[in-house]
Structure 1
Amino acid sequence: MADYRKAFRAEPGGKINLGKHDPSFTGKHDSEESAKKELAAYGDELFKQQGLLYAEHKRSVLVVLQGLDAAGKDGTIKHCFTVLNPQGVSVVGFKQPTAEELAHDFLWRIHPHAPGKGYISIFNRSHYEDVLVTRVHKLIDKATWTERYKRIRDFEALLAENGTTVLKFFLHISPEEQLARFAQRLDDPKRNWKISESDYSERALWDKYIEAFEDAIAATSVEDAPWYVIPSDHKWFRNLAVSQIMANTMEDLKLAYPKPTVDLDDIRRKYHAAEAEEKPGKKKG
Structure 2
Amino acid sequence: MEKIKTSHYRIEETVRLKDIPTLNTLGATEEELEEALSGERKKLAEFQNRMYAHGKYGVLICIQGMDTAGKDSLIREVFKDLNARGVVVHSFKIPSMLELRHDYLWRHYLALPERGKFSVFNRTHYENVLVTRVHPEYVLNENIPGIESVNDIGPEFWDKRFEQINNFEKLVAENGTLIFKFFLHISKEEQRQRLLRRLNKKSKNWKFSPGDLEERKLWDEYLKYYEEAINRTSTAHAPWYVLPADNKKACRLILADILYDELKKYKNIKEPQLDEDTMANLEYYKKQLEGE
Is the counterpart of residue 54 in structure 1 residue 67 in structure 2? no
Aligned alpha-carbon RMSD (Å): 1.7
Between stretches 204-213 and 2-11, larger displacement belongs to 2-11
**Which is greater in Rg?**
1
The one-character-per-residue Cα deviations of 1:121-172 (angstroms, maximum 9, x if unpaired) are 0000010000000001123432222211111111111111011110000000
Please state how far the C-alpha of 1:101 moved relative to its aligned partner. 1.5
Q: Which residue of 2 aligns with 1:268?
A: 282
Between stretches 252-261 and 124-133, larger displacement belongs to 252-261
Could you list the runs of 4 or more consecutive aligned residues of structure 1 that deviate by over 4 angstroms after TM superposition?
Answer: none
Q: Given that residues 135 and 141 in structure 1 are in contact (C-alpha distance below 8 angstroms), is that contact kept between their aligned partners in structure 2?
A: no
Q: Which residue of 1 aligns with 2:6?
A: 5
Q: Which residue of 1 aligns with 2:208?
A: 195
Residues in 2 aligned to 1:201 and 1:5: alpha-carbon distance in whole angstroms: 35
Is the counterpart of residue 207 in structure 1 residue 220 in structure 2? yes
Q: Which residue of 1 aligns with 2:148?
A: none
One-letter code aligned to 1:259: Q
Q: Which residue of 1 aligns with 2:71?
A: 73
One-letter code aligned to 2:121: F
1:114 to 89, 95, 112: 112
Residues in 2 aligned to 1:3 and 1:162: alpha-carbon distance in whole angstroms: 30
2:199 to 169, 175, 186: 186
One-letter code aligned to 1:244: D
2:259 to 246, 258, 274: 246
- Provide the secondary structure at the position in 2 that maps to 1:229: strand
1:169 to 171, 178, 182: 182
Q: Which residue of 2 aligns with 1:15?
A: 14
TM-score by length of 2: 0.89
Structure 2 unaligned segments of length 5 or more: list them.
Answer: 138-152
Please state how far the C-alpha of 1:16 moved relative to its aligned partner. 1.8
Residues in 2 aligned to 1:111 and 1:203: alpha-carbon distance in whole angstroms: 30
Between stretches 53-62 and 254-263, larger displacement belongs to 254-263
- Provide the secondary structure at the position in 2 that maps to 1:256: coil
- Provide the secondary structure at the position in 1 that maps to 2:74: helix
How many percent of aligned residue pairs carry the same amino acid?
40
Cα 1:197–1:48 change in 2 (3 A) is: same
Cα 1:273–1:236 change in 2 (3 A) is: closer
- Provide the secondary structure at the position in 2 that maps to 1:86: coil
Q: How many residues align?
A: 275
1:150 to 155, 159, 163: 163
1:137 to 132, 135, 138: 135
One-letter code aligned to 2:97: A
Residues in 2 aligned to 1:265 and 1:259: alpha-carbon distance in whole angstroms: 9
Please state how far the C-alpha of 1:3 moved relative to its aligned partner. 3.7
1:128 to 111, 116, 126: 126
Structure 1 unaligned segments of length 5 or more: list them.
Answer: 281-285
Residues in 2 aligned to 1:260 and 1:148: alpha-carbon distance in whole angstroms: 46
The one-character-per-residue Cα deviations of 1:83-120 (angstroms, maximum 9, x if unpaired) are 11111110001111112222221101110110111010
One-letter code aligned to 2:168: F
- Provide the secondary structure at the position in 2 that maps to 1:41: helix
- Provide the secondary structure at the position in 1 that maps to 2:202: coil
Residues in 2 aligned to 1:170 and 1:157: alpha-carbon distance in whole angstroms: 20
Q: Which residue of 2 aligns with 1:92?
A: 90
